[in-house]
Amino acid sequence: MVPESFYVTLSAVLFTIGVVGVIIRRNPLVIFMSIELMLNAANLALVAFGQRAGNLDGQAVVFFVMAVAAAEVAVGLAIIVAIFRIRRRLSVDDLSIMRW
Amino acid sequence: MVYVAFFLVALIATGSALGLVLRTNAIHGALFLVLNLGSIAALYLMLGAEFLAAAQVIVYAGAIMVLFVFAIMVLIPGKEETGPDPRRGVRLLAVPVGALLLLMLVFVVAVRLRGAPAPSAPAGTVTAVGRLLFTSYLFPFELTSVLLLAAMVGVLLLARRRA
């Protein structure tokens, strides 16, 4: 049995790659996918911790995270498409129209 | 043997995550993300979370990624990241910041986890997780349906063409 710390370390690596992706990329779609990567890293850590705690509560939380992520992706992509319709460009550097 | 399988899957997961971040073509990134989600489903199986592995493949690699690929096809990207980067210096800071974050995460969370014995956890079968979802987590489960409905209505409102 692989120890849980291995899974948590892998989850930390994936989370960091997601953070770096959010910072260095300019395409909002790729930034969105990096956020999905971070969510999945957190899910993996949750399952590993739940395995260590000896119950299934971690897996139940992961189920809810998946549902919320699905809702988030749908709304986020709709916002991106709506912005693209107005601006005809897709770069986060000139996206300040949602700021007050 | 278990270790070999784990490191193989971990290598695939890390490599595909790097591919997502480093390739400039968004559609390649999406396919790398599908690979990454699939390898995480394999890790769920190794952790005994059968239900989550199936849900991961169906919800993430199936539904969510189809949505992503569809959005990428509609928006025709690939042109916006070819020009010179006006904020290159700031973006290069991401590498040391990421390294620092990784060190902190690994040392605070993973290293301190080592040592203590793991109790035998029940397998995450559909029966076990479903029983938990419909007893202890019944209220959040029902709230999830309201959330999905709200998201659906919101998306319809956002995607509607302005008359």
Residue contact B40–A45, C-beta within 8 A = no
Q: Which residue of A has its CA nearest to B137?
A: A60
Q: With contacts defined as CB-CB under 8 Å, which chain B residues touch A80?
A: 71, 75
Greater confidence (B86 vs B100) lies with B100
Rounded (5°) CA angle B125-B128-B132? 135
Interface confidence, given as ipTM, is 0.88
Q: Which residues of chain A have pLDDT under 50?
A: none
Contact yes or no for A75 and B63 at CB 8 A: no
- What is the rounded average pLDDT for all residues in chain B? 85
For A34-94, the DSSP string reads HHHHHHHHHHHHHHHHHHHHTSSHHHHHHHHHHHHHHHHHHHHHHHHHHHHHHHS---GGG
How much is the pLDDT for A54? 80
pTM: 0.89
Please say if the pLDDT value at position B62 is more than 90: no
Chain B environment of A59 (Cβ under 8 Å): 49, 51-52, 124, 129, 132
* Contact residues on chain B for A62, CB-CB shorter than 8 A: 49, 52
- How far is residue A48's CA from residue B49's CA, in Å, rounded to a whole number? 10
Per the CB < 8 A criterion, the answer to whether A11 and A77 are in contact is no
pLDDT one-digit tens code per residue, B3-59: 899 999 999 999 999 999 888 888 899 999 999 999 999 999 998 889 999 999 999
Sign, CA torsion B111/B6/A67/B64: positive
